[in-house]
Amino acid sequence: MVTDFKRIKMKNPLVEMDGDEMTRVIWEKIKDILLTPYIDLKTDYYDLSIENRDKTEDLVTIDAANATKKYGVAVKCATITANAQRVEEFKLKKMWKSPNATIRAILDGTVFRAPILVDGISPLVKGWKKPIVIARHAYGDVYGGVETYVEKGSKAVLQITDKNGNSKYIDVHDFEDSNGIVQSIHNTDSSIESFAISCFEYALDNKLDLWFSSKDTISKTYDHRFKDIFNDIYEKRYKDKFEEAGIEYFYTLIDDAIARVMKSEGGFVWACKNYDGDVFSDMLATAFGSLAMMTSVLVSPHGYYEYEAAHGTVTRHYHRYLQGEKTSTNPIATIFAWTGALYKRGELDGLEELKAFASKLEEAVLSTVGQGYMTGDLVSISELPEKTRLDLEEFLYKVKENLEEML
């Protein structure tokens, strides 16, 4: 323990959203071992555990999201999303909505997922040297679609009625010879604009190029609308800022984007429509090594930030932990959620010390893994010749050792 270190004072609080199961255990240990000895932590605390969400009729989630609007920066622990089995397990009053969905609806943001690269763990794609950050437009399209089964002999027509009651009709398909299926999807200019602004802001903030891709050659009105909105906002509000920052925005067809992503060396933000983002974020997480090494930040177009790990509450490890086992659960993504939030807090409040601490803690984590000390999930994928498998607490203390050498 460094004795001459003066704990860093904060100005404004971070919104702290506690969570469930193994990640709740990790949360407390990170604070005890790596944060509170060095920072006079100021947080506005909300307990988003499933028990407390149930007790408060989920109002605690809404309060936490509103607090994020007030203070601007939040850090969130993984939480259980209720399903039938969880309702039974915790005797819940009802199947509460996913906290992430509730928070996102209130903050109106876009989720950016970024892999954490460490020495000894190479991405499956050989050329990738830097992270590829993926941004998914989490509204509309097939996720907000309606669909139905159609019997042979039916006709599908799309009807649009304007505010004066005038309708226009678009033929979809005449199911003369066969049964079939039909689907209708939508999006809104305002949601696409929010998405675009979040993407431009994130790219500027992190000094990364921004790519946006869709299938506008086939979808000449729908996908083309996305392309036009991105272009308009770029030209009007971001072109100069991007040039000043030395970064680039470009649009390309989704097919071309895939080819370029595979051949790239990484180091950019890839903005995706809802379905593309859903699918390609899983591909990227796997290709970069592990879900336990993926961070996630919700960026709202109004300037609010919420940081978290991309993985869930690691239930299987928690059950072993409850039986007294020392599990080798990887805390890296959760540590990076804290450092991301602390860095942003420091930036907004002009606290260089806090920013520097956040960066050093990240460096300490990376060098610990680089020295061969890691949790079990990484041992199996690391190419380092000498590896030591540590349990959660041992790993955190090893990081602390490295951190103290830097302070």
Name the residues that contact Mg ion, by CB under 5 A. Answer: 278, 282
Is 292 an interacting residue with respect to ligand NAP (CB under 6 A)?
A: yes
Considering only residues 308-337, where is the footprint of ligand NAP by CB under 6 A? 308, 311-316, 329-330
Angle at 309 between CA 304 and CA 311, to 5 degrees: 135
Least Å distance between CB 298 and ligand NAP?
Answer: 10
Give whichever of 311 and 355 is closer to ligand NAP, judged by the CB atom: 311
Determine which residue in the list 49, 61, 68, 100 makes contact with ligand NAP, applying CB under 6 A: 100
- CB closer to ligand NAP out of 185 and 379: 379
Instruction: Using CB atoms within 10 Å of the CB of residue 3, give its burial: 0 to 12 exposed, 13 to 18 middle, 19+ buried.
Output: exposed
Partner from Mg ion, ligand NAP, none binding residue 100, C-beta < 5-8 Å depending on class? ligand NAP
Tell me which of ligand NAP, Mg ion, none is bound by residue 315, counting a contact when its beta carbon lies within the kind-specific cut-off of 5 to 8 angstroms: ligand NAP
What's the CA gap between 40 and 176, in Å, rounded?
A: 71
From the CB of 328, what's the least distance to Mg ion, in Å?
26
The residue to which tokens 């933000």 are assigned: 269
**Given candidates 65, 75, 80, 390, which one binds ligand NAP under the rule CB under 6 A?**
80
Minimum distance from CB of 322 to ligand NAP (Å)?
Answer: 14
Q: Shortest approach of Mg ion to residue 342 CB, angstroms?
A: 29
Binding mask 32-71 for ligand NAP (x = CB under 6 A): ----------------------------------------
Min. distance of Cβ 212 from ligand NAP in angstroms? 25
Q: How far is the CB of 286 from Mg ion (least distance, A)?
A: 11
Q: What is the DSSP string of 28-53?
A: HHHIIIIITTTEE--EEEEE--HHHH
Helix (H) / strand (E) containing 221: none
213 and 224 in contact (C-beta within 8 Å)? no
278 contact, one of Mg ion, ligand NAP, none, CB 5-8 Å limit per kind: Mg ion
Helices (H), 308-382: 315-322, 332-349, 352-370, 376-379
Among 73-81, 200-208, 212-220, 258-266, the segment contacting ligand NAP (CB under 6 A): 73-81
Give the angle 141-144-149 at the CA atoms, nearest 5°: 95
Sign of CA dihedral 241, 114, 333, 103: positive
Cα separation, 372 vs 397, whole angstroms: 14
282 binds, among Mg ion, ligand NAP, none (CB under 5 to 8 A by kind): Mg ion
Which does residue 329 bind out of ligand NAP, Mg ion, none, counting CB within 5 to 8 angstroms by kind?
ligand NAP
Q: What is the DSSP letter of 292?
A: G
Please check whether residue 305 is in contact with residue 72, taking contact to mean a CB–CB distance below 8 angstroms.
yes
Within 56-130, where are the H helices?
59-71, 84-89, 99-107
93 touches ligand NAP by CB under 6 A? no
**Cβ 169 vs Cβ 158: under 8 Å:** yes
155 binds, among Mg ion, ligand NAP, none (CB under 5 to 8 A by kind): none
**Smallest separation, CB 272 to ligand NAP (Å):** 19
Q: In what helix (H) or strand (E) does residue 218 lie, and over which residues does it extend?
A: none
Strand partners, 213: 252
65: tokens are 């999201």
Looking at 104-112, 143-151, 174-182, 307-315, which segment touches ligand NAP (CB under 6 A)? 307-315
Cα end-to-end span (Å), the chain: 11
Give the DSSP H/E element, type plus range, for residue 147.
Answer: strand 146-150
Question: In the complex, what is the shortest distance from the CB of residue 176 to Mg ion, in angstroms, rounded to a whole number?
Answer: 37
From the list 61, 79, 295, 339, which residue makes contact with ligand NAP (rule: CB under 6 A)?
79
User: x/- site string to ligand NAP, residues 334 to 373, per CB under 6 A?
Assistant: ----------------------------------------
State the virtual CA torsion across 229, 235, 241, 246 in degrees, nearest 10: 100
Residues of this chain that interact with ligand NAP (CB under 6 A) are 78-81, 100, 291-292, 308, 311-316, 329-330, 377
